[in-house]
Amino acid sequence: MIPDESLPPIAAGSGRAEVIVDEAPMSGRFNMAMDAAMLELGATRDVSVIRIYRWCEPTVSLGYFQGAGVQHESPFPGLPTVRRLSGGGAILHDLEITYSCTLPASHPVRQDPSELYGVIHRSLIKLLRECGAKCLLRSDFDANQAAKLRAGEKSGNENARPNAEPFLCFLRSNPNDIVHERGTKIVGSAQRRRKGITLQHGSILLSASNVCPTVEGIRQLSHEFDIARFYTGLPGGIAASIEREWTIRPYSDLERSISSEFLSNPA
Protein backbone atom coordinates (compact mmCIF):
# COMPACT_ATOMS: atom_id res chain seq x y z
CA MET A 1 0.00 0.00 0.00
CA ILE A 2 1.23 3.52 -0.82
CA PRO A 3 0.16 5.89 1.97
CA ASP A 4 -1.22 9.27 0.94
CA GLU A 5 0.31 10.76 4.09
CA SER A 6 3.68 10.43 2.33
CA LEU A 7 2.59 13.44 0.27
CA PRO A 8 2.48 16.47 2.59
CA PRO A 9 1.36 19.86 1.22
CA ILE A 10 3.76 21.33 -1.31
CA ALA A 11 5.36 24.64 -0.33
CA ALA A 12 5.54 27.19 -3.14
CA GLY A 13 7.40 30.45 -3.28
CA SER A 14 5.63 33.79 -3.51
CA GLY A 15 6.95 34.70 -6.96
CA ARG A 16 6.47 33.27 -10.43
CA ALA A 17 8.00 30.61 -12.62
CA GLU A 18 8.77 30.61 -16.32
CA VAL A 19 8.66 27.26 -18.09
CA ILE A 20 10.47 26.35 -21.30
CA VAL A 21 9.34 23.14 -23.00
CA ASP A 22 11.94 22.19 -25.60
CA GLU A 23 9.85 20.21 -28.07
CA ALA A 24 12.82 19.21 -30.25
CA PRO A 25 15.24 16.67 -28.73
CA MET A 26 18.68 18.28 -28.58
CA SER A 27 22.30 17.17 -28.21
CA GLY A 28 23.85 16.62 -24.82
CA ARG A 29 26.23 19.53 -25.36
CA PHE A 30 23.34 21.90 -26.09
CA ASN A 31 21.34 20.72 -23.10
CA MET A 32 24.23 21.15 -20.68
CA ALA A 33 25.24 24.51 -22.16
CA MET A 34 21.68 25.82 -21.80
CA ASP A 35 21.49 24.72 -18.18
CA ALA A 36 24.83 26.44 -17.55
CA ALA A 37 23.36 29.61 -19.05
CA MET A 38 20.33 29.32 -16.76
CA LEU A 39 22.56 29.00 -13.70
CA GLU A 40 24.63 32.03 -14.71
CA LEU A 41 21.55 34.14 -15.45
CA GLY A 42 19.95 33.07 -12.18
CA ALA A 43 22.01 35.69 -10.36
CA THR A 44 20.31 38.44 -12.39
CA ARG A 45 16.71 37.21 -12.05
CA ASP A 46 13.96 37.11 -9.46
CA VAL A 47 11.97 34.37 -11.24
CA SER A 48 12.35 30.61 -11.25
CA VAL A 49 13.03 29.01 -14.63
CA ILE A 50 12.14 25.43 -15.48
CA ARG A 51 13.27 23.54 -18.55
CA ILE A 52 11.67 20.34 -19.85
CA TYR A 53 13.85 18.68 -22.45
CA ARG A 54 14.92 15.48 -24.20
CA TRP A 55 18.02 14.12 -25.95
CA CYS A 56 18.44 13.54 -29.69
CA GLU A 57 20.67 10.48 -29.25
CA PRO A 58 21.68 8.17 -26.39
CA THR A 59 24.14 10.20 -24.32
CA VAL A 60 25.98 9.65 -21.04
CA SER A 61 26.16 12.59 -18.63
CA LEU A 62 28.73 12.39 -15.84
CA GLY A 63 28.04 13.91 -12.46
CA TYR A 64 30.04 17.05 -11.74
CA PHE A 65 32.07 15.36 -9.03
CA GLN A 66 32.77 12.11 -10.84
CA GLY A 67 36.52 11.74 -11.42
CA ALA A 68 38.07 12.96 -14.65
CA GLY A 69 39.07 9.41 -15.59
CA VAL A 70 35.66 7.89 -14.98
CA GLN A 71 34.78 7.93 -18.67
CA HIS A 72 37.23 5.05 -19.17
CA GLU A 73 35.09 2.95 -16.83
CA SER A 74 31.88 3.66 -18.74
CA PRO A 75 30.06 0.57 -20.03
CA PHE A 76 29.00 2.71 -23.02
CA PRO A 77 32.35 3.83 -24.52
CA GLY A 78 30.92 4.58 -27.95
CA LEU A 79 28.29 7.06 -26.79
CA PRO A 80 28.63 10.86 -26.60
CA THR A 81 29.63 11.93 -23.09
CA VAL A 82 28.99 15.27 -21.37
CA ARG A 83 29.46 16.53 -17.84
CA ARG A 84 26.52 17.86 -15.84
CA LEU A 85 26.66 20.82 -13.51
CA SER A 86 24.92 18.73 -10.85
CA GLY A 87 26.40 15.87 -8.85
CA GLY A 88 25.49 12.21 -8.63
CA GLY A 89 26.34 9.25 -10.82
CA ALA A 90 26.38 8.93 -14.58
CA ILE A 91 23.05 8.89 -16.40
CA LEU A 92 22.30 7.24 -19.72
CA HIS A 93 19.90 9.70 -21.32
CA ASP A 94 17.76 8.03 -23.96
CA LEU A 95 14.09 7.17 -23.48
CA GLU A 96 13.47 9.72 -20.76
CA ILE A 97 12.39 13.25 -19.98
CA THR A 98 14.79 15.58 -18.19
CA TYR A 99 13.84 18.66 -16.21
CA SER A 100 16.01 21.40 -14.82
CA CYS A 101 14.88 24.02 -12.34
CA THR A 102 16.83 27.19 -11.53
CA LEU A 103 15.69 29.11 -8.44
CA PRO A 104 16.83 32.68 -7.65
CA ALA A 105 18.47 33.57 -4.36
CA SER A 106 15.21 35.25 -3.27
CA HIS A 107 13.31 31.95 -3.27
CA PRO A 108 12.56 30.62 0.24
CA VAL A 109 14.12 27.25 -0.61
CA ARG A 110 17.51 28.96 -0.28
CA GLN A 111 17.21 28.47 3.48
CA ASP A 112 17.34 24.69 2.90
CA PRO A 113 18.06 23.82 -0.74
CA SER A 114 17.75 20.10 -0.03
CA GLU A 115 14.02 20.73 0.54
CA LEU A 116 13.68 21.22 -3.22
CA TYR A 117 14.10 17.47 -3.80
CA GLY A 118 11.00 16.75 -1.74
CA VAL A 119 9.04 19.68 -3.17
CA ILE A 120 9.50 18.62 -6.78
CA HIS A 121 9.47 14.87 -6.18
CA ARG A 122 6.17 15.04 -4.31
CA SER A 123 4.63 16.85 -7.29
CA LEU A 124 6.06 14.22 -9.65
CA ILE A 125 4.74 11.36 -7.52
CA LYS A 126 1.26 12.89 -7.62
CA LEU A 127 1.36 13.22 -11.41
CA LEU A 128 2.92 9.78 -11.95
CA ARG A 129 0.20 8.15 -9.86
CA GLU A 130 -2.52 10.00 -11.77
CA CYS A 131 -1.02 8.65 -15.00
CA GLY A 132 -0.88 5.05 -13.82
CA ALA A 133 2.54 4.56 -12.21
CA LYS A 134 2.42 3.34 -8.61
CA CYS A 135 5.38 5.02 -6.99
CA LEU A 136 6.67 6.63 -3.81
CA LEU A 137 9.80 8.13 -2.27
CA ARG A 138 12.56 5.63 -1.57
CA SER A 139 12.57 6.70 2.07
CA ASP A 140 8.92 5.59 2.32
CA PHE A 141 9.63 2.38 0.40
CA ASP A 142 12.51 1.51 2.72
CA ALA A 143 10.35 2.22 5.77
CA ASN A 144 7.68 -0.09 4.37
CA GLN A 145 10.24 -2.86 3.81
CA ALA A 146 11.59 -2.44 7.34
CA ALA A 147 8.07 -2.74 8.73
CA LYS A 148 7.50 -5.94 6.74
CA LEU A 149 10.72 -7.43 8.08
CA ARG A 150 9.71 -6.59 11.63
CA ALA A 151 6.39 -8.30 10.96
CA GLY A 152 8.20 -11.39 9.67
CA GLU A 153 7.38 -10.87 6.00
CA LYS A 154 9.80 -11.11 3.12
CA SER A 155 10.54 -7.66 1.74
CA GLY A 156 10.85 -8.69 -1.87
CA ASN A 157 14.14 -6.81 -1.97
CA GLU A 158 16.50 -9.03 0.01
CA ASN A 159 19.50 -8.82 -2.30
CA ALA A 160 22.32 -6.97 -0.57
CA ARG A 161 23.50 -3.81 -2.27
CA PRO A 162 27.11 -3.83 -3.50
CA ASN A 163 29.75 -2.07 -1.46
CA ALA A 164 31.15 -0.22 -4.48
CA GLU A 165 29.00 2.66 -5.69
CA PRO A 166 27.61 1.86 -9.16
CA PHE A 167 28.67 3.95 -12.14
CA LEU A 168 25.07 4.66 -13.20
CA CYS A 169 22.85 6.95 -11.15
CA PHE A 170 19.83 4.69 -11.65
CA LEU A 171 21.65 1.83 -9.93
CA ARG A 172 22.43 4.00 -6.91
CA SER A 173 20.14 4.58 -3.95
CA ASN A 174 19.14 7.82 -2.27
CA PRO A 175 16.23 8.52 0.14
CA ASN A 176 15.02 11.28 -2.23
CA ASP A 177 14.66 8.95 -5.23
CA ILE A 178 11.26 8.18 -6.67
CA VAL A 179 10.83 4.43 -6.97
CA HIS A 180 8.16 2.15 -8.38
CA GLU A 181 6.20 0.24 -5.74
CA ARG A 182 8.54 -2.70 -6.43
CA GLY A 183 11.53 -0.57 -5.42
CA THR A 184 12.98 0.17 -8.87
CA LYS A 185 14.26 3.73 -9.27
CA ILE A 186 12.38 5.74 -11.91
CA VAL A 187 13.31 9.35 -11.05
CA GLY A 188 16.60 10.72 -9.71
CA SER A 189 17.64 14.33 -9.17
CA ALA A 190 20.80 16.22 -8.21
CA GLN A 191 21.76 19.84 -7.52
CA ARG A 192 24.36 22.51 -8.04
CA ARG A 193 24.39 25.60 -5.84
CA ARG A 194 26.24 28.83 -6.60
CA LYS A 195 25.96 32.15 -4.77
CA GLY A 196 22.49 31.38 -3.48
CA ILE A 197 21.23 30.13 -6.85
CA THR A 198 19.98 26.55 -6.91
CA LEU A 199 19.98 24.44 -10.07
CA GLN A 200 18.33 21.03 -9.84
CA HIS A 201 18.41 18.43 -12.61
CA GLY A 202 16.11 15.43 -12.71
CA SER A 203 15.90 12.41 -15.00
CA ILE A 204 12.53 10.67 -15.45
CA LEU A 205 13.15 7.22 -16.92
CA LEU A 206 10.21 6.48 -19.21
CA SER A 207 11.48 3.24 -20.74
CA ALA A 208 14.51 0.97 -20.84
CA SER A 209 17.09 1.95 -23.45
CA ASN A 210 18.19 -0.54 -26.09
CA VAL A 211 21.71 0.39 -25.01
CA CYS A 212 21.01 -0.75 -21.45
CA PRO A 213 17.86 -2.92 -21.44
CA THR A 214 18.43 -4.24 -17.90
CA VAL A 215 17.63 -0.84 -16.35
CA GLU A 216 13.84 -0.79 -16.50
CA GLY A 217 11.75 2.33 -16.98
CA ILE A 218 8.18 3.26 -16.14
CA ARG A 219 6.75 1.57 -19.24
CA GLN A 220 8.21 -1.80 -18.22
CA LEU A 221 6.95 -1.43 -14.64
CA SER A 222 3.53 0.14 -15.27
CA HIS A 223 2.15 -1.12 -18.59
CA GLU A 224 -0.91 1.15 -18.48
CA PHE A 225 1.13 4.32 -17.92
CA ASP A 226 -0.26 7.26 -19.91
CA ILE A 227 2.86 9.00 -21.25
CA ALA A 228 0.91 11.62 -23.24
CA ARG A 229 -1.00 12.71 -20.14
CA PHE A 230 2.18 12.77 -18.12
CA TYR A 231 4.04 14.90 -20.65
CA THR A 232 1.15 17.36 -20.84
CA GLY A 233 0.92 17.71 -17.05
CA LEU A 234 4.63 17.83 -16.31
CA PRO A 235 5.37 21.55 -16.89
CA GLY A 236 2.53 22.75 -14.68
CA GLY A 237 3.12 20.04 -12.11
CA ILE A 238 6.68 21.14 -11.44
CA ALA A 239 6.00 24.88 -11.80
CA ALA A 240 3.07 24.91 -9.37
CA SER A 241 5.16 23.10 -6.77
CA ILE A 242 7.74 25.89 -6.56
CA GLU A 243 5.81 29.07 -7.39
CA ARG A 244 2.21 30.32 -7.20
CA GLU A 245 2.10 31.65 -10.76
CA TRP A 246 3.72 30.32 -13.91
CA THR A 247 3.80 30.85 -17.66
CA ILE A 248 5.31 29.02 -20.64
CA ARG A 249 7.71 30.90 -22.88
CA PRO A 250 10.43 30.24 -25.52
CA TYR A 251 14.15 30.74 -25.01
CA SER A 252 15.23 34.37 -24.89
CA ASP A 253 17.91 35.78 -27.17
CA LEU A 254 20.16 36.28 -24.13
CA GLU A 255 19.78 32.64 -23.05
CA ARG A 256 20.66 31.45 -26.54
CA SER A 257 23.63 33.81 -26.71
CA ILE A 258 25.12 32.74 -23.37
CA SER A 259 24.52 29.05 -24.04
CA SER A 260 26.31 29.48 -27.38
CA GLU A 261 29.30 30.87 -25.51
CA PHE A 262 29.35 27.79 -23.27
CA LEU A 263 29.14 25.58 -26.36
CA SER A 264 32.09 27.39 -27.93
CA ASN A 265 34.16 27.41 -24.73
CA PRO A 266 33.26 24.32 -22.69
CA ALA A 267 34.71 24.17 -19.17
List, by residue number, the catalytic residues.
Answer: 169
- The DSSP bridge pattern shows strands 81-83 and 59-62 to be parallel
Handedness of CA 248, 50, 197, 11 (dihedral sign): positive
With b for 16 or more beta-carbon neighbours within 10 A and e for fewer, the 212-245 pattern comes to beebbbbbbbbeebeeeebbebbbbbbbebbbee
